[in-house]
Amino acid sequence: MTNQEIPTRILAIETSCDETAAAVVENGRIILSNVIASQIDIHAQFGGVFPEVASRQHIEVIYPVVAQALEEAHLGLEDLDCLAVTQGPGLVGSLLVGVNMAKGLALARNKPFLGINHIEGHVYSPWLMPDADEIAFPVLTLVVSGGHTELYLMVDHGRYQHLGGTLDDAAGEAFDKVGRLLGLPYPGGPAIEKAARDGNPHAFKFPRAVLDDGFNFSFSGLKTAVLRQTRQYSPYKLPVNDLAASFQAAVVDVLVTKTERAAMAYGVTAVHLVGGVSANRALRQAMKERLDIPVRVPDFILCTDNAAMIGAAAHWHFSKGRRDTLNLDVIPSLQLD
Ligand code: KG4
Ligand code: ZN
């Protein structure tokens, strides 16, 4: 076997928000294990992520989660080529748990160590799909998550042009806030999607903030419009399903309109739809129906936070020779270009 044929195996850890996750990824493409311990049930009682509770919960489960990831991959620490971990953006206390765990393992086994941008992790999630061989640059990536709504032109591995982003709320944040307005459980995204299934998307004409010719987004006006509507009803008579369906239709329309515009402007080969909100079936369907170029959306488990995507992104940095020192610090407001 030549050196080229020896697979690169990376253990990746993700603890930026409310999922404690560890995965082993081979060559940035093959998932050998992907373990996710969600804290959603714990945070639901607070109606959102409670940062101190999140970091304490990460501390409790990080060790068994990492152990399970290695066990399911049938590998030991000695078999790994690199430890990778989310460096930011995210909650400082949560990030620290993952980074310290990865540093400890790297130090104990004298292995290379890499800090990875969480947003870049989402961007690399399509490389974990079976058709990843067909990806050809340039691609347009729409990242829609709880903290981000960003359009990136990806011209090569690790080379991004930021075309636009949200001026106020992120798409997932808007789902979560409107979910709360409608009395739905946290997180609002899946709850709104479920409620919308029995609602009429044309029941309410909510604004579509298309702004200007650029590629920025704004969702705060839409959120205010939903709030205004809810005040027309007594809490027990809220038409939750219709409000959810009409709100979801407005978000989907804006996201697809802007993405289509950017895809045409830059002549990309495909659109990649990633991040927690890309789990939304209405969005996945509309993006595929309205765009006449291929739209690649990862499997549901790879849309919301996971460590496999961190391993996929880490592979490209590792194969280009990047190595971080154990002095690396967390960066809660880390950006991607
Ligand atoms: O990527 P992610 O797991 O974490 C961040 O990096 O923020 O995204 C979480 C966000 C939450 O705001 C959640 O409400 C939203 O993704 N989300 C959804 C759906 N599933 C998760 N939004 C709409 N429809 C869904 N099915
Ligand atoms: Zn995320």
Question: What is the predicted pLDDT for the residue at 44?
Answer: 85
**Whose C-alpha lies nearest to ligand 1, atom 10?**
146
Give the total number of structural domains in the chain.
2
Question: What is the predicted pLDDT for the residue at 236?
Answer: 85
Question: What is the predicted pLDDT for the residue at 38?
Answer: 92
Pocket of ligand 1 contains residue 89 by CB under 6 Å: no
User: Do 221 and 238 belong to one domain?
Assistant: yes
> Between 240-266 and 188-196, two packed helices, what is the crossing angle to 10 degrees?
110
User: Do 153 and 215 belong to one domain?
Assistant: yes
**Residue 257, burial from CB neighbour count under 10 angstroms (0-12, 13-18, 19+):** middle
Ligand 1 centroid to 275 CA: how many Å? 7
Reference 181, options 13, 47, 5; nearest CA is 47
Which ligand places an atom closest to the C-alpha of 303? 1
User: Do 77 and 166 belong to one domain?
Assistant: no
Which ligand places an atom closest to the C-alpha of 189? 1
In a domain, 334, yes or no: no
User: Do 140 and 288 belong to one domain?
Assistant: yes
User: Do 257 and 289 belong to one domain?
Assistant: yes
In a domain, 324, yes or no: no
**Whose C-alpha lies nearest to ligand 1, atom 2?**
276
Atom of ligand 1 nearest to the CA of 122: 1
Ligand 1 centroid to 102 CA: how many Å? 25
Pocket of ligand 1 contains residue 298 by CB under 6 Å: no
- CATH number at 20 reads 3.30.420.40
Pocket of ligand 1 contains residue 189 by CB under 6 Å: yes
Question: What is the predicted pLDDT for the residue at 4?
Answer: 54
Question: What is the predicted pLDDT for the residue at 306?
Answer: 98
User: Do 291 and 310 belong to one domain?
Assistant: no
- Bridge-based pairing of strands 82-88 and 9-14 is parallel
Q: Where are the beta strands (DSSP E) in 27-158?
A: 30-38, 82-88, 113-117, 139-144, 149-156
Whole-angstrom Cα distance, residue 195 to residue 249?
13
In a domain, 208, yes or no: yes
Question: What is the predicted pLDDT for the residue at 1?
Answer: 44
Containing structural domain, residue 89: 3-124+303-319
User: Do 157 and 285 belong to one domain?
Assistant: yes
**Whose C-alpha lies nearest to ligand 1, atom 14?**
189
Pocket of ligand 1 contains residue 275 by CB under 6 Å: yes
What is the pLDDT tens value at each position of the chain, 337 positions in all?
445 567 899 999 999 999 999 999 999 999 999 999 998 888 888 888 889 999 999 999 999 999 999 999 999 999 999 999 999 999 999 999 999 999 999 999 999 999 999 999 999 999 999 999 999 999 999 999 999 999 999 999 999 999 999 999 999 999 999 999 999 999 999 999 999 999 999 999 999 988 777 899 999 999 999 999 999 998 789 999 999 999 999 999 999 999 999 999 999 999 999 999 999 999 999 999 999 999 999 999 999 999 999 999 999 999 999 999 999 999 999 999 8
User: Do 104 and 237 belong to one domain?
Assistant: no
Question: What is the predicted pLDDT for the residue at 311?
Answer: 98
Which ligand places an atom closest to the C-alpha of 147? 1
Ligand 1 centroid to 201 CA: how many Å? 20
Which ligand places an atom closest to the C-alpha of 170? 1
Reference 245, options 280, 220, 276, 218; nearest CA is 280
User: Do 18 and 62 belong to one domain?
Assistant: yes
